[in-house]
Amino acid sequence: MDIPALTTMANQIARNLAAQGEAAAVAQTAQHISDYWDPRMKAALRDGDRSGLSAIARAAVDRAVD
């Protein structure tokens, strides 16, 4: 899987939801990843470099894939 592309996608989702407040954005981003991302995409983020994720995206990925 292309980690930079997955990072970009997670950051875009988080950025689109950020106006709802951090807690809601984290929860909704995590829910989106859980519901719609292929297991291979989630595994790649779980095992890959998360340093490029925004704070909201990182918290959401931690919740969705760990």
> What's the domain count of the chain?
1
d(CA 64, CA 59): 9
Average pLDDT along the chain: 95
For tokens 């950051």, the residue is: 11
pLDDT beyond 80 at 66: no
pLDDT beyond 90 at 50: yes
Find the domain containing 7 and state its range.
3-65
